[in-house]
Structure 1
Amino acid sequence: MSLAVRRVLPEPVPPSARQHMVRMRDGVQLATDVYGAGREAPAPTVLARLPYDKNSRYVFFDRIAERFTAHGYVVVVQDVRGKFRSQGRTLGWTGEVDDGYDTLEWIVRQPWSDGTVGMFGDSYYGFTQWSAVSSQHPALRAIVPRVTSTTNAPGIATYDAGAGRQPLWLEGATYQAQVWTDNHIHEFEVDFSRRPLIAAYEEAFAAIGKRSAGFDLVVGGIPLDPYNGPHPYDARPVPVLHCAGWFDNLGTAHLRDYEELAKRPGWAAVQYLIADTIDHENYFLEDAPATPESDHMVSVEALERKLDSYTGPAIEFFDVFLKGAAHPDTLPRVRWKLGHVGWRTAAGWPLPEARATELYLTDPAAASGTVPGGGLAPRPDDRAESGQWRYDPDDLVPSAATDTFLQLREHADERRTLDRDDVLVFTGAAATRPLDLAGPVHAVLHVESTAPTYDLFVRLLDLAPDGTARLILRGCAQADRPGEVEIALGHTGYRVRPGHRLALMIAGSDFPNHLPNSGSLESPWLATTPKASLQHLRTGAAHPSRLCLTVLPDSGDGGEGGGPR
């Protein structure tokens, strides 16, 4: 029986848009919609360049355009090279610098353009904004990249990835296979039980009749440098409104961009940040898990409610930097949401008043049992201790969500995962007053393995009084020798409420979000008999495995029970 593949074709161009085929420097023509061009006077333009069908319900640009055009902007939305109605080779993260420049050049030559352009959008159409920055076209005056990064090619080793060795993001490889095979999107279920695992994808390509060049780069471990101009960090500074999500699967990379640019002369002066309690697909913590009434992917009413908060900050930003309607000082430098509390403003991020604190992993021998497991304490034990957990390729630890792009749509209870005997879990005592996490979080683990290469997956969870466990942050690393491993979990703004506890989980797999380790030097894509292994964690003063938090002052318990002092 052949694999079922659903081909996603382009939706009709809406009556409110006019499509143009815009010629690039090499003769390739890109399908480009224009909204709101029939004005008496030229106007500033908002541009988005994306691979997901400019006319699809998924990107809802007809509704987005209504909001921008109502505020006096022309909106231009383009299928990138090789996608949907556009011509050219299908390979993401290539050619966007030149195509971005040529599209900007086309815009400024149109009678409806006043010569100024801002760019807007999520994920890949955040990356195309950074590519346009790299092109250094003078018309680009502001960008609003959402839930994205300068180097977000899923599964491909990219220029200055900055994250150290990582287990391969299997979700990203599947994305390459489904989105970047040809002009269309091909939806299919991957049979993750196949060994070697590569066979499941080969079956899909056989059913489609074409291969994904991006997927082949992933499997081959071939690096991809997306910028044929300067890296955006080294380009001419442009005002940026970073719209990041505490639960976004690209959140760590996005905040790294923000922090790196904050160190650069010129860039620091034009950076702004909005950090919300959202995942990659713009589901909110306060609505999690989503209901039919709050799910914007299925409810028109929920989508309309979301679009006001989705476009509002960008309109405000463009009014300042494209229209000059107000002074930049009228915009808060940082707007951030403290999960379970609400919005706050600040002059910068991380917050100057926040402080670093460390919780040490204790009693590791108990950590492989059920919750509460081991402890999180303000000081390490004087004596050296160790705990162990197994990696079993035939019984992999389930991922926090079946789809991390939709982390908050289901916001799963992970208590059953915490109680598995192949993970370690460390918990603090219940908080007696609010503990406000506000800034970066990382774990430092002293580990070794019986395997020549091994993976470490860490999750920070909120353990509620009723026993439910919900994800706050996660991170991972890959190692090939014993010793200290630092694992970035990203940034957050999150209140641990009274009665709740922090829980730290350590595992050797995260399936199906990440490609399982072969347990040997064999490629995990090609392994038919992956090998089990045993991992050891060391704790105590000589090997201080610990959780490093950033907290607001006057929060937490300050005792032995796991709150910061």
Structure 2
Amino acid sequence: MTTTILIEKNIPCPLSDGTILYADVYRPSAEGQYPTLLARLIDGKDSHRFRYLDLLKVVQAGYVVILQDVRGRHQSDGTFTPFYHELTDGKDAINWAASRPYSNGAIGMFGDAYSAFSQQIVASAGLKTLKALFPIHAFSSQEEFTHKNGLFKKAKTLDWALYLAEDEIRRKDNEQTGQDYLMHWKAYTDNVERFYHYEPKKAPLFKMLNASLFFYDLIKQSEQVTEIEANDTPSYFVSGWFDSFLESTIEAFSRSSKQEDVPHTLLIGPWSTGAINKDLCTRNFGTSASLHSISNEGSLTDIHLRWFDRWLKQEENGIEHEAPVQFFVMGINKWRKETQWPPVGLQELQLHFCNKENQLLKNPVTHFNDSITIYKKQAAANYLDQTFHRYQTTCLNEALEVIGETNVIIQVDSLETSIHLSAALYDITANGDYHFLTEGTVTIEQARTPQEVTIRLSPTANHFKKGHRIAVAIGQTSTIEYEYHVEKGNKQGSAINIILTKAILSLPVVSNPLS
């Protein structure tokens, strides 16, 4: 293990079109050639917070670490266009990194979110020097980043665009103009919730900041980047149950895992890319969920090192023979190891909570072989600009472990206009606390006859303890979180009275719950 680390700032990396990107290099002081890890960043190599990785520990373990600002961001030259240059620029950056005198030519890539996208797309180029990836919170296309089930993720995309605008403003040539725009940027950032109510193209922050046209590129869904296909580079995918990119990370892992001769791993914890609303998730997941002690076996940095040691240093440490799928089961705060996603042997449990007259069923059953009565909670729950109707089971008389994708199946009467519905799943403790687990959205088209619709909720893993209750909430999708077409006469955010003539909660359960 090296004890002295060299740090070189703003090292130029010339691209094939003449643009210069700049990188910071962290490397062992001892002469020699080392395997090299590259992260390409949009939020600044000087300011990026590596919550997932101890960079100095990685260098001490015998790696060169290169942090590079992508085109048009922070220190690097050029104009930033989201997603557009990542394939060609990524190839140039890898070839440049492999040619450094301190590199042995074996390259790995790491990073989260946009950096995870940059890893996957350049892996499709088939560069022999690229040996392994470690994408965290991965998505494979612009559509996955900006949309969900065809709905534009307005709040999240506005947040991201506004965040990126600060560097765009600081890069302005005219210092006074830049300061004026920066003042506006600070004001908009402090009051960003106000702009969630605007149609995106009419939000005043775009016009006032005049930072970059990439805001409008994010808003429109045309000219999307081609979705990344299966990845043939060994990859360790990481996501969290509350991460907005959970489904796309699982999908990327599943596509890549179809190549049986290339090892891939999926790790899912009770994490998020951003803050979790405390009113929705008030759970203590214990020390085994900590990024510093995953499953009480080591930190996420330790997992990075084992993965890259295997593929860049060719160390036979056996990591590729371990369970390819590992995930945290909430409620009992333990980890499960499986051979695939979704796990083998899941059984469907259907819970019916109203009949065709929209009346509550009577005589709750006391076992899981049939339906469980779900009682409607009379008090509506406010969630942003939505009104949810909540239903809940009676207290469970035995533990129930749900793993995978939950579905809410409903039948609605004829509709005069198309609507957008959301559903959310909760675990209600013996003390009456609601713990948010997952949610999903669906668009129901205008129809004159009753129709059956499935609301698909994002995957989750939760152990419902004996004495707990299962709750589901159904309501109109938030026009703050999402942007969609609103029919004339129906104001944005107003409630629509929906009569459910059938409602079923379909849960994937395991026969061997943890204990």
Same fold (TM over 0.5): yes
Separation in 1 of the partners of 2:272 and 2:197?
32
| Corresponding residue for residue 271 of structure 1 | 264
Note closer, same or farther for the CA distance 1:324–1:150 as it changes in structure 2 (3 Å cut): same
Is the contact made by 1:450 and 1:533 (CA closer than 8 Å) also made in structure 2? Answer: no
Query: Of residues 165, 169, 185 in structure 1, which corresponds to 2:150?
Result: 165
| Corresponding residue for residue 164 of structure 2 | 179
Is the contact made by 1:46 and 1:118 (CA closer than 8 Å) also made in structure 2? Answer: yes
| Corresponding residue for residue 468 of structure 1 | 433
Is the contact made by 2:108 and 2:312 (CA closer than 8 Å) also made in structure 1? Answer: yes
| Corresponding residue for residue 487 of structure 2 | 520
Is the contact made by 2:441 and 2:477 (CA closer than 8 Å) also made in structure 1? Answer: no
Separation in 1 of the partners of 2:154 and 2:200?
14
Query: Of residues 330, 336, 358 in structure 1, which corresponds to 2:327?
Result: 336
Separation in 2 of the partners of 1:17 and 1:502?
54
Is the contact made by 1:100 and 1:135 (CA closer than 8 Å) also made in structure 2? Answer: no
Q: Name the amino acid aligned to 1:552.
A: V
Matched, 1:496 2:464: yes
Would you say how many aligned residue pairs link Structure 1 and Structure 2? 473
Unmatched segments (≥5 aa) in structure 1: 1-13, 158-162, 295-301, 369-375, 382-386, 390-394, 400-416, 557-565
Separation in 2 of the partners of 1:208 and 1:151?
27
Note closer, same or farther for the CA distance 1:329–1:49 as it changes in structure 2 (3 Å cut): closer
Note closer, same or farther for the CA distance 1:438–1:73 as it changes in structure 2 (3 Å cut): same
Query: Of residues 238, 242, 245 in structure 2, which corresponds to 1:247?
Result: 242
Q: Name the amino acid aligned to 1:472.
A: L
Is the contact made by 1:191 and 1:200 (CA closer than 8 Å) also made in structure 2? Answer: no
Separation in 1 of the partners of 2:260 and 2:67?
29
| Corresponding residue for residue 403 of structure 1 | none
Note closer, same or farther for the CA distance 1:367–1:149 as it changes in structure 2 (3 Å cut): farther
Note closer, same or farther for the CA distance 1:217–1:69 as it changes in structure 2 (3 Å cut): same
| Corresponding residue for residue 345 of structure 1 | 337
Is the contact made by 1:30 and 1:80 (CA closer than 8 Å) also made in structure 2? Answer: yes
Is the contact made by 1:90 and 1:180 (CA closer than 8 Å) also made in structure 2? Answer: no
Task: State the SS of the aligned residue for 2:458.
Answer: strand
Matched, 1:54 2:45: yes
Matched, 1:38 2:33: no
Note closer, same or farther for the CA distance 1:547–1:108 as it changes in structure 2 (3 Å cut): same
Matched, 1:434 2:419: no
Query: Of residues 166, 191, 194 in structure 2, which corresponds to 1:192?
Result: 194
Q: Name the amino acid aligned to 1:362.
A: C
Task: State the SS of the aligned residue for 1:76.
Answer: strand
Percent identity over paired residues: 20
Q: Deviations over 1:137-177 (max 9, x none)?
A: 211111111112212557646xxxxx643354422233124
Q: Deviations over 1:28-66 (max 9, x none)?
A: 1112111115333211111111111112153469x7321
With the length of structure 2 as denominator, give the TM-score of the two structures: 0.80
Deviation at 1:70, TM superposition (A): 1.7
Q: Name the amino acid aligned to 1:224.
A: Q
Matched, 1:115 2:105: yes
Is the contact made by 1:242 and 1:271 (CA closer than 8 Å) also made in structure 2? Answer: yes
Q: Name the amino acid aligned to 1:423.
A: F
Task: State the SS of the aligned residue for 1:325.
Answer: coil
Task: State the SS of the aligned residue for 1:494.
Answer: strand
Deviation at 1:322, TM superposition (A): 1.3
Note closer, same or farther for the CA distance 1:396–1:135 as it changes in structure 2 (3 Å cut): farther
Note closer, same or farther for the CA distance 1:196–1:118 as it changes in structure 2 (3 Å cut): closer
Separation in 2 of the partners of 1:74 and 1:330?
27
Query: Of residues 494, 500, 504 in structure 2, which corresponds to 1:546?
Result: 504
Separation in 2 of the partners of 1:96 and 1:274?
25
Separation in 2 of the partners of 1:336 and 1:284?
22
Task: State the SS of the aligned residue for 1:359.
Answer: strand
Note closer, same or farther for the CA distance 1:184–1:16 as it changes in structure 2 (3 Å cut): farther
With the length of structure 1 as denominator, give the TM-score of the two structures: 0.73
Moved more, 309-318 or 340-349: 340-349
Deviation at 1:330, TM superposition (A): 4.0
Matched, 1:534 2:496: yes
| Corresponding residue for residue 232 of structure 1 | 228
